[in-house]
Structure 1
Amino acid sequence: MSTVLVAEDDLAIRDLLTFLLDTSGHHVLACADGGSALDTARREHPDLAILDVSTPGITGIEVCRALRERAADTELMPVLMLTAHGQRLDAGTGFDAGADDCLVKPFEPSELMSRIETLLERSGVA
């Protein structure tokens, strides 16, 4: 079982992500903002992070950069960025920050789960 950090300020999307991951056998660490996500990642060392680009406070982009730049225990953790449909330019910014994959909302749950499993397999967790 892998541990997945979810940082999403939209409660409905966060609940959906938690449900999909939980029913697929993953342990979920859910956060509503970037600051909590960064603290949780540093404390819990999840196997994968799913970060919304526009979380309040510290953005998902900033969380991704911090995970890559300042923490030897999280620098190789796969990161999947979520961005709203109208924020397509943020995907490039996500990759520049060190994200491994980006997905535009709204997304198909099957596509999301496929990408998660691919990232976990590449990192040797799945």
Structure 2
Amino acid sequence: MATVVIAEDDAALRGLFTRVLTRAGHHVDACPDGGSALARVRDHRPELVLTDVDMPPGMSGLDLLAMIRATPDLAPIPVIVTTGGHLDSDTAAALGATLLLRKPVSPHDLTAHVDAILAVEPTTCS
């Protein structure tokens, strides 16, 4: 069972992602914004982060991604970014995202991608 931190400002999507990943056997720590997600990532060193790109002012998903990648002991953590906007996969990868998922994300696709990433990218954060 992996720990996944979710940063999603939409409460309905945050709840859906939490239910889907919990049913898949993961421990989920869901946050409504990038700032609280970063605090959880620093405190708990999850095996994976799932973040929305566009969140309220303060810390966007891309800001969260940049902070994770800029912190040596957090940088190995895989980060999936989700968007309903115009961000493309190449740009997301160049910014350090492990994967870009377009909204709406089906529960099956979310679980499949999370499980695949966790199977091939074990993190060594401690």
Q: Which TM-score applies when normalising by structure 1? A: 0.91
Q: Which amino acid aligns with 1:103?
A: L
Q: Percent identity?
A: 39
Q: After the TM superposition, which residues 100-115 of structure 1 pair with which residues of structure 2 at under 5 Å, given as runs? A: 100-115=98-113
- Deviation larger for 91-100 or 113-122: 91-100
* Structure 1 residue 97: Cα displacement: 1.7
Write out aligned runs for 1:25-104 (5 A): 25-56=25-56, 57-69=58-70, 71-84=71-84, 87-89=85-87, 91-104=89-102
- Indicate the residue corresponding to 2:9 in structure 1: 9
Write out the 4+ residue segments of structure 1 that deviate beyond 3 Å after TM superposition: 90-93
Structure 1 residues 36-56: Cα deviation after superposition (integer angstroms, max 9, x where no partner): 111111111000000100122
1:54 alignment partner, SS class: coil
Measured in 2, the distance between the counterparts of 1:60 and 1:114 equals 21
Instruction: Mark the runs of 5 or more structure 2 residues left unpaired by the alignment.
Output: none
CA RMSD, Structure 1 to Structure 2 (Å):
1.3
SS at match of 1:81: strand
State the SS of the aligned residue for 2:28: strand
Q: Could you say if the C-alpha distance between residues 63 and 90 of structure 1 is closer, same or farther in structure 2, counting changes exceeding 3 Å?
A: farther
Shift of residue 122, structure 1, vs aligned partner: 1.2
Higher helix share: 1
TM-score w.r.t. structure 2 length? 0.91
> Which amino acid is the alignment partner of residue 99 of structure 2?
D
